[in-house]
């Protein structure tokens, strides 16, 4: 479970015995002299807390005693007379009170027993000379508890705590190494569910330390910096003061959660650790996790866990506990059919909107409500709901939250089916689930501690949770429930629920339309508690917010894209130009000479080994930078264009340069081999497109179509797409007359796609239905080639975009710009899923949707893993910028061109 370690379960005293927002300040070994037997002295630990006194006896058969300071009448230091042998008796702390609370009687976790009426308690400390100081501390805290206003009480207690922290410091004798160098030390609190423990944080060049002021649960807590895998800033108590550290990639629970007293201290620790981890750990964003999930590299469970983490949800903060959806709607059948959509909940609606009859009543109330209006009077996640689910494994947390009592037996978590039914029909029950419902530990469904949780109205005691008929036991329930979460149906619809909880339907008009409006207090930034001048009102407002529940931080402001499932996967069409397949280079052990025998798995294997590219040969056939590369269908001839204004042809078979053609005195920007295999199109800075006949060895036509340089071209089904610096992409229809010649009169302008800046690059998806363009102002535009309508326009870069390309499945577009960023854009929503900052501009690339082979400005070929956002390899290639790259369909042969005028031929060696 998220809440505690096995070691903590065995501890008898717990900070959960304190009131909410109470501090444990110090402890002393002492004797309780208040036993009914005058001769009996009970040894134990006398604990001074900010609102109470707790005595924890060593004898576990004795109950823990708690005396609230507000119920005390007198606290005094009593010096007793000398004994018969004229030896001084130890001083005693005498406490007169009106209430004593007995906890864990018989060493059993059970509701607390309160004894009211006049009581006299006496305690004798082991260290006599400490007694008077302890009494003075208790009197100060007692005076605070007697103040009329809660705000004044809190302020006086806080002053006492800060004074203690200021008089102490981190014990540097706790360093693990004598050469360890401290970087920052400050006061902070370690946060666990419902409690905070004050102390000192120290971060060194090797470790992060926390030393509790009271020495509980241990003298010092140490985390090695090199073990840290994730670190998050947290909003705690509505303030940016929290910091959570994980030493694992996908675990639910963190290793430590710290709350600082100032944002500056928090940020200083965060940035120091983040800079230490910079070369070891990749910082993930919601978009980068989205990309991994969308492509199947993260399970639904893992993705939801990461989104919760990014949205400030933490297992250490019950007011912001991770929230997971109900996904199954069938809890009555004997078998759960995950292939039947009827077995699942509608993930496009919040829980409150699943029942139309109930929703109609809520909407009627909403319409008549004054501003600010809300549809639901309770939230889908709150501390009470979390503990409702977890009471069997976290009973002390429930007792802490509810002043030492359990809830009424009939209102407890008794049955999964009944809980789901109440969420559908209850007037105020709209709760979602917690991650434990999709985990592997079934203990929260079983009363393994034999807790007395009360009896229901029918006389039956509360025991294990009643499971659906389709589950044979609790472990079987979790396995089937998690299988449902990972099912194709949920995978196809989970983005709809994410839109509601973390996305664009969380707030504003979209939330209203989706019937997803909660109380204003639940939304981040809606209430500024610090602006409330009355201290009591401010504390009451904060308490209400924390107990009512909080909406996660909004992660997405545009529709979340759907997951790519096998049902929706597109298989990439092989273009005629790239069908040279393995014929381009000599056979290697990992090649297959037949294109038909190629599989997606072989391509993945080739990309996994892309770091093994070996240079086969080089040519220097141009006088200026190479700008484009094209290859014939049989792989026998390679064409290249250059800023030297020439088109060159190289014979692979003869291994020699064969032809050179100059069309004008202006640079050529790209080349394209048309599907007939006999014509090469070349774009030029002189505003024209030239067509070269391979059989006849001459220019056969010129298309004068733009008012500025033509930068790039695409071809599909007799349509030519040309991108120009004149801020347009033009679409031309080419009539086919069966001959190899293409006359000027045969090109008809079909459409002109307007841009706000010059267009520098473009690409077409394999099906020819989508076009993407990249402009000099950093905008990526995605167009429908049937309607010529702009589907998305996303400003991705600051400056010129060098290159854009669709992923093989057409779901994503990758762009690279002069700002050195590489951006992955979701085609469906226009969301930037991933942003990678390179050390230098990447001028061109090939990619398979997950991995990228790009050409850098300094001449290296760089291998990227988009899912981890890291560079996985670097291959020295050219002495100047890599300006063109071509890859065959088998992904085992690569041709590159560079600013150094060289053309390099590469082969993948397994």
Q: Tell me, what's the pLDDT at 603?
A: 77
Whether a cis peptide bond, with omega within 30° of 0, leads into 126 is no
**What is the distance between the alpha carbons of residues 170 and 207, in angstroms, rounded to a whole number?**
13
- Residues 283-329 pLDDT 10s: 678 888 898 898 888 999 999 999 999 999 999 999 999 999 999 99
Burial grade of 299 (CB within 10 A; 0-12, 13-18, 19 or more): middle
The domains spanning 6-165 and 171-283 adopt the same CATH topology: yes
- Residues 353-381 pLDDT 10s: 999 999 999 999 999 999 889 999 899 99
- Residues 693-729 pLDDT 10s: 988 888 889 999 899 999 999 999 889 999 999 999 9
Mean pLDDT of 497-501: 97
**What is the distance between the alpha carbons of residues 815 and 801, in angstroms, rounded to a whole number?**
7
Report the helix count and the strand count for the chain, using DSSP H and E: 15, 42
Q: Tell me, what's the pLDDT at 858?
A: 93
Mean pLDDT of 110-127: 93
Higher-confidence residue: 539 or 239?
239
Name which of 803, 829, 830 is nearest 817 in CA terms: 803
Contact in structure between 459 and 378 (CB atoms under 8 Å): no
**What is the distance between the alpha carbons of residues 893 and 886, in angstroms, rounded to a whole number?**
8
Q: Tell me, what's the pLDDT at 637?
A: 87
Contact in structure between 532 and 541 (CB atoms under 8 Å): yes
Contact in structure between 723 and 713 (CB atoms under 8 Å): yes
Pairing of the two strands 893-898 and 902-908: antiparallel
Q: Strand, helix or coil at 29?
A: strand
Burial grade of 103 (CB within 10 A; 0-12, 13-18, 19 or more): buried
Q: Strand, helix or coil at 329?
A: coil
**What is the distance between the alpha carbons of residues 667 and 624, in angstroms, rounded to a whole number?**
9
The DSSP code for 453 is -
Tokens read off for 678? 């006999």
The angle formed by the CA atoms of residues 160, 162 and 165, to the nearest 5 degrees, is: 115
26-30, 440-444, 588-592: range with lowest mean pLDDT: 588-592
Type and span of the H or E element at 400 = helix 395-401
Q: Tell me, what's the pLDDT at 21?
A: 87
Q: Strand, helix or coil at 805?
A: strand
Tokens read off for 190? 């370690």
Contact in structure between 190 and 177 (CB atoms under 8 Å): no
Phi and psi dihedrals of 831, rounded to 5?
-75, 135
Contact in structure between 484 and 300 (CB atoms under 8 Å): no
**What is the distance between the alpha carbons of residues 587 and 590, in angstroms, rounded to a whole number?**
8
**What is the distance between the alpha carbons of residues 626 and 642, in angstroms, rounded to a whole number?**
4
Contact in structure between 138 and 48 (CB atoms under 8 Å): yes
**What is the distance between the alpha carbons of residues 442 and 1, in angstroms, rounded to a whole number?**
9
User: What separation in angstroms does the CA of 389 have from each of 206, 294, 351, 417, 432?
Assistant: 39, 30, 17, 13, 11
Phi and psi dihedrals of 381, rounded to 5?
-150, 130
**Buried b / exposed e across 796-810, counting CB within 10 Å, b at 16+?**
bbeebbbbbbbbbbb
The angle formed by the CA atoms of residues 671, 674 and 679, to the nearest 5 degrees, is: 80
Name which of 751, 734, 752 is nearest 743 in CA terms: 734
- Residues 818-837 pLDDT 10s: 999 999 999 988 988 888 89
Tokens read off for 293? 């999930």
CATH number, span 171-283: 2.30.29.30
Q: Tell me, what's the pLDDT at 676?
A: 85
Tokens read off for 891? 């992904």
Contact in structure between 164 and 158 (CB atoms under 8 Å): no
- Residues 327-352 pLDDT 10s: 999 999 999 999 999 999 999 999 99
Q: Tell me, what's the pLDDT at 891?
A: 85
Name which of 579, 589, 626 is nearest 609 in CA terms: 589
Q: Taking the CA atoms of the chain, what radius of gyration do you get in angstroms?
A: 35
Max CA pair span of the chain: 128
The CATH T-level fold of domain 6-165 is PH-domain like (2.30.29)
User: What separation in angstroms does the CA of 62 have from each of 56, 92, 403, 449?
Assistant: 9, 21, 21, 20
Task: Say yes or no: domain 318-548 is CATH 1.10.3480.10.
Answer: no
Tokens read off for 368? 């008549």
Q: Residue 547 pLDDT more than 50?
A: yes
- Residues 597-637 pLDDT 10s: 345 677 778 898 899 999 998 888 899 999 999 998 777 88
Beta strands in 347-393 (DSSP E): none
pLDDT band at 178 (very low <50, low <70, confident <90, very high): confident
Q: Residue 282 pLDDT more than 50?
A: yes
User: What separation in angstroms does the CA of 472 have from each of 260, 433, 548?
Assistant: 47, 21, 35
**What is the distance between the alpha carbons of residues 503 and 250, in angstroms, rounded to a whole number?**
22
Residues, the chain = 910
The DSSP code for 654 is T
**What is the distance between the alpha carbons of residues 379 and 384, in angstroms, rounded to a whole number?**
11
**What is the distance between the alpha carbons of residues 507 and 524, in angstroms, rounded to a whole number?**
11
The DSSP code for 558 is S
Contact in structure between 679 and 740 (CB atoms under 8 Å): yes
Contact in structure between 470 and 536 (CB atoms under 8 Å): no
- Give the 3-state secondary structure of 149-170: CHHHHHHHHHHHHHHHHHCCCC
pLDDT band at 44 (very low <50, low <70, confident <90, very high): very high
User: What separation in angstroms does the CA of 799 have from each of 590, 665, 775, 839?
Assistant: 40, 28, 8, 16
The conformational region for residue 655 under phi > 0 = left, psi -120 to 50 = alpha, else beta, is left
Name which of 485, 388, 383, 384 is nearest 444 in CA terms: 388
- Give the 3-state secondary structure of 584-615: HCCCCCCCCCCHHHCCHHHHHHHHHCHHHEEE
- Residues 401-412 pLDDT 10s: 999 999 999 999
- Residues 195-232 pLDDT 10s: 999 999 999 999 999 999 999 999 999 999 999 988 99
Q: Residue 267 pLDDT more than 80?
A: yes
**For the residues of 857-883, what is the DSSP string, one character each?**
TTSEEEEEETTTTEEEEEEE--SS-EE
Contact in structure between 856 and 841 (CB atoms under 8 Å): yes
Q: Where are the domains positioned within the chain?
A: 6-165, 171-283, 318-548
Q: Residue 737 pLDDT more than 80?
A: no
**What is the distance between the alpha carbons of residues 511 and 521, in angstroms, rounded to a whole number?**
16
Q: Strand, helix or coil at 10?
A: coil
Name which of 526, 502, 535 is nearest 516 in CA terms: 502
Q: Residue 910 pLDDT more than 80?
A: no
Q: Strand, helix or coil at 319?
A: helix
User: What separation in angstroms does the CA of 312 have from each of 16, 318, 787?
Assistant: 23, 11, 42
Q: Which long-range contacts (CB under 8 A, 24 or more apart) does 650-657 make?
A: 650/619, 650/621, 650/903, 652/584, 655/617, 657/619, 657/621
The conformational region for residue 907 under phi > 0 = left, psi -120 to 50 = alpha, else beta, is beta
Give me the percent of the chain exceeding a pLDDT of 90: 71
Mean residue pLDDT across the chain: 88
**What is the distance between the alpha carbons of residues 872 and 875, in angstroms, rounded to a whole number?**
10
- Residues 126-145 pLDDT 10s: 888 889 999 999 999 999 99
């Amino acid at each position: 479970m998220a809440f505690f370690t096995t070691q903590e379960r065995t501890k008898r005293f717990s900070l959960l015995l304190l009131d909410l927002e109470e501090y444990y300040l110090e402890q002393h070994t002492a004797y309780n002299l208040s036993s009914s037997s005058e001769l009996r002295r009970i040894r134990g630990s006398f604990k001074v807390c900010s609102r109470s006194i707790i005595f924890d006896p060593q004898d576990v058969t004795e109950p823990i005693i708690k005396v609230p300071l507000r119920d005390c009448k007198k606290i005094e230091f009593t010096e007793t007379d000398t004994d018969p042998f004229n030896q001084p008796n130890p001083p005693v702390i005498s406490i007169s009170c009106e209430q004593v609370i007995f906890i864990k009687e018989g060493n059993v976790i059970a509701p607390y027993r309160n004894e009211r009426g006049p009581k006299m308690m006496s305690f004798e400390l082991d260290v006599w000379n400490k007694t008077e100081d302890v009494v003075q501390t208790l009197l100060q805290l007692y005076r605070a508890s007697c103040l009329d206003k809660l705000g004044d009480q809190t302020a006086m207690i806080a002053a006492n705590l800060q004074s203690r922290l200021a008089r102490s410091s981190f014990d540097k004798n706790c360093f693990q190494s004598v050469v360890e160098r401290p970087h920052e030390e400050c006061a902070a609190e370690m946060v666990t569910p419902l409690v905070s423990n004050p102390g000192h944080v120290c971060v060194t060049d090797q470790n992060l330390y926390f030393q509790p002021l009271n020495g509980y649960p241990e003298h010092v807590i140490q985390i090695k910096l090199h073990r840290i895998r994730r670190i998050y800033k947290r909003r705690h108590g509505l303030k940016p003061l929290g910091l959570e550290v994980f030493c694992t990639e996908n675990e639910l629970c963190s290793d430590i959660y710290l709350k600082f007293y100032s944002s500056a201290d928090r940020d200083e620790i965060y940035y120091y650790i983040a800079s230490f981890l910079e070369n070891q750990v990749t910082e993930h964003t919601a978009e980068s996790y989205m990309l991994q999930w969308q492509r199947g590299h993260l399970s639904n469970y893992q993705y939801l866990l990461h989104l919760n983490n990014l949205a400030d949800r933490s297992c250490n903060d019950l007011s912001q506990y991770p929230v997971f959806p109900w996904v199954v709607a069938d809890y009555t059948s004997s078998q759960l059919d995950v292939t039947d959509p009827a077995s699942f909940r509608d993930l496009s609606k919040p829980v409150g909107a699943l029942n139309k009859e109930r929703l109609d009543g809520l909407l009627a109330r909403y319409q008549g409500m004054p501003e600010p209006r809300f549809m639901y009077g309770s939230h889908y996640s709150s501390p009470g709901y979390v503990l409702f689910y977890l009471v069997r494994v976290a009973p002390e947390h429930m007792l802490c939250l509810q002043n030492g009592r359990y809830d009424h037996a009939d209102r407890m978590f008794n049955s999964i089916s009944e809980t789901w039914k109440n969420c559908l029909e209850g007037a105020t029950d709209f709760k979602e689930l917690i991650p434990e419902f999709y985990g592997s530990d079934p203990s929260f469904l079983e009363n393994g501690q034999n807790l007395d949780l009360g009896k229901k109205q029918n006389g039956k005691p509360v025991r294990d949770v009643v499971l659906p008929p389709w589950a044979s036991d609790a472990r079987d329930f979790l396995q089937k429930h998690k299988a449902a979460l990972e099912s194709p149906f949920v995978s196809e619809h989970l983005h709809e629920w994410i839109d509601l909880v973390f996305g664009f339907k969380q707030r504003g008009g979209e939330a209203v339309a989706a019937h997803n409006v909660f109380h204003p207090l639940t939304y981040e930034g809606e209430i500024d508690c610090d602006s409330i001048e009355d201290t009591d009102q401010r504390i009451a407002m904060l308490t209400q917010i924390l107990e009512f529940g909080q909406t996660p931080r909004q992660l997405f402001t545009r529709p979340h894209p759907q997951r790519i499932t096998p049902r929706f996967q597109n298989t990439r069409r092989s273009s005629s130009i790239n069908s040279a397949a393995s014929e381009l280079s000599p056979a290697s052990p990992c090649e297959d000479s037949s294109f038909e025998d190629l599989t997606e798995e072989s391509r993945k294997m080739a990309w996994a080994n892309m770091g093994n590219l070996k240079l086969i040969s080089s040519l220097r056939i141009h006088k200026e930078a190479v700008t484009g590369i094209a290859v014939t269908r049989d792989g026998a001839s390679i064409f290249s264009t250059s800023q030297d204004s020439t088109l060159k042809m190289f014979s692979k078979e003869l291994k020699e340069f064969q032809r050179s053609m100059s069309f004008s005195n202006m640079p050529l920007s790209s080349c394209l081999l048309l599907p007939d295999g006999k014509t090469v199109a070349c774009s030029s800075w002189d505003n024209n497109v030239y067509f070269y006949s391979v059989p006849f060895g001459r220019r056969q036509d010129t298309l004068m179509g733009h008012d500025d340089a033509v930068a790039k071209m695409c071809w599909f089904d007799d349509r030519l797409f040309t991108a120009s610096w004149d801020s347009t992409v033009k679409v031309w229809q080419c009539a086919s007359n069966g001959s190899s010649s293409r006359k000027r009169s045969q090109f008809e302008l079909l459409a002109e796609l307007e841009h706000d800046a010059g267009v520098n690059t473009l690409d077409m998806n394999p099906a020819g239905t989508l076009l993407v363009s990249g402009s000099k102002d950093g905008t990526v535009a995605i167009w429908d080639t049937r309607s010529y309508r702009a589907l998305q326009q996303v400003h991705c870069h600051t400056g010129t975009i060098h290159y854009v390309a669709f992923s093989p499945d057409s779901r994503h577009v990758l762009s690279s710009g002069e700002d050195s960023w590489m951006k992955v854009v979701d085609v469906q929503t226009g969301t930037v899923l991933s942003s990678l900052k390179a050390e230098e501009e990447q001028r061109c690339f090939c990619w398979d949707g997950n991995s990228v082979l790009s050409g850098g400005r300094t001449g290296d070929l760089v291998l990227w893993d988009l899912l981890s956002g890291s560079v996985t390899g670097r291959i020295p290639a050219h002495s100047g910028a890599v300006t063109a790259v071509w890859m065959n369909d088998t992904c085992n042969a690569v041709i590159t061109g560079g600013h150094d005028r060289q053309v390099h031929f590469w082969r993948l060696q397994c």
